[in-house]
A and B are shown apart, each in its own frame.
Chain A
Amino acid sequence: MADARIQIPPAIKRGENFEVKIAIRHAMETGYRVDDVGKPIKRNVIRELVCKYNGTEALRVDMSSGFAANPLLQFWLVAGNSGEISFEWDDDTGTKYAERAAVTVAG
């Protein structure tokens, strides 16, 4: 199963704003919860999420435990050339994740 699902409108016109949605599979463990035997569950939240459009930074989000588990994010970009939208994020375990989706721009 992929770490994230990205949704981009299928028909985009150059110069127009289009909405990008990403749903990331991540527990966003706050560090305030305890397990069945009362042991604290270590904090593990996404620290930073970077979205790039054809290699150029398009949005950067500093995240925290204030985001719900399996974070969902919707935002807008301006359509340039066809290519790809990529996301990179890292969490408290130091793991780096990445996911990408193709963009087709008409006109």
Chain B
Amino acid sequence: MNPEHLIPVAAPAASPASPARRVLLGAAGALAAAQCLPAVAQIPTNLNELPEIPALQEFLAGRRVQFARMQLEIPRVADNGNSVPIKLGVLGAVAPGAVQSIHLFSEKNPVPRMAVFHFPASTARFDIESRVRLAGTQRVVAVATLADGALCVKVAEVLVAIAACLDGS
């Protein structure tokens, strides 16, 4: 590191003018942060709301869902949509047969119903790991059907740099 560079940084701490400089710096920082905010707000994501997927609406058939317990782990940014790691699970489901099935829906894929995992009554741990294809930046929805009929939902958004199925679609 350049020693000359260190001197001006260390000097204001001892000088009486330093509080004013800090205020100024703080204001500049706040301004910079404020300029960043609109960009963040532009991302139109509401992860507590179901995206419009006809196949999902058809599956739910008007049934009520709860945005709880379902776990859906997927990278926020995927370099390649051809293979995106995904982890599914249901919080607190440890009893055999607690979960009947987990359904995975995609907002933009040509096949919106990506996968259905059916668990028999003997299964006691409902964690699934796999790799999926995603045709572009979109929201992915996981729905777990519990033994008591409850539907647990989790929505996640993935930014896909290179979409799968670029050809012909």
Contacts and interface: CB of A to CB of B under 8 A. Distances in A.
Interface string B100-118: 0000101001110111111
A66 to B, nearest CB: 3
Interface size class of A (residues with CB under 8 A): 20 to 34
Contacts, number: 103
B120 A58 contact: yes
B128 A60 contact: no
Interface stretch (B3-11, B29-37, B143-151, B161-169): B161-169
A66 B120 contact: no
Size category, B interface: 35 or more
Nearest to B129: A74
A33 B168 CA distance: 6
Given A73-B129, A73-B130, A76-B127, A62 B111 contact: no
11 contacts: A57-B120, A58-B123, A60-B117, A61-B116, A61-B118, A65-B165, A66-B114, A66-B115, A67-B131, A77-B122, A78-B123
